[in-house]
Amino acid sequence: MQNRHLLPGLLAAMLIAGPAIAADVAAAPAPQGGPAAEAGQYVDDATITTKVKAAIMGEKSLSALDVKVTTTEGVVTLTGTVDKVEAADKAMQVASAITGVKRVDSKLQLKSATN
């Protein structure tokens, strides 16, 4: 029964993060290679980015609004801010678990270090 209370929150998070996901996908650099490789890689990278963002949204210890995700040729880059080192580690762990991710680069900063 407790899961019933999570659904509205997840839907709200998806509505809030949806434009950010679309903006990240649109801003993703074009992959190298021929037209077929470009189209396939772009779809794969966009899918990976979406899956990583969704997985981050599902983690209570992470704020999907504070962690930005980009993917280029299967390499996920995390940027933004987190409250604790453990949150950065968790974000990397979550991203690494997504199918198709070749590597995760973290450029996450601690909020206290950015203020």
Q: Is the pTM of this model over 0.85?
A: no
- Mean pLDDT for back-to-back runs of 10 residues, the chain (115 residues): 55 57 53 54 85 92 87 96 92 95 95 65
Please state the domain extents for the chain: 2-114
Give the pLDDT score at 1. 46
- Beta bridge partners, 68, equal 79
Token couple for 76: 């996920």
Domain 2-114 CATH (choose: 1.10.290.10, 2.30.42.10, 3.40.30.10, 3.30.1340.30): 3.30.1340.30
Q: Which of 48, 55, 54, 99 is nearest to 77 (CA)?
A: 48
Give the pLDDT score at 39. 55
Token couple for 110: 């601690």
- Cβ–Cβ < 8 Å for 82, 62: yes
A 10 A CB-CB count for 21 gives: 19
- Cβ–Cβ < 8 Å for 52, 69: yes
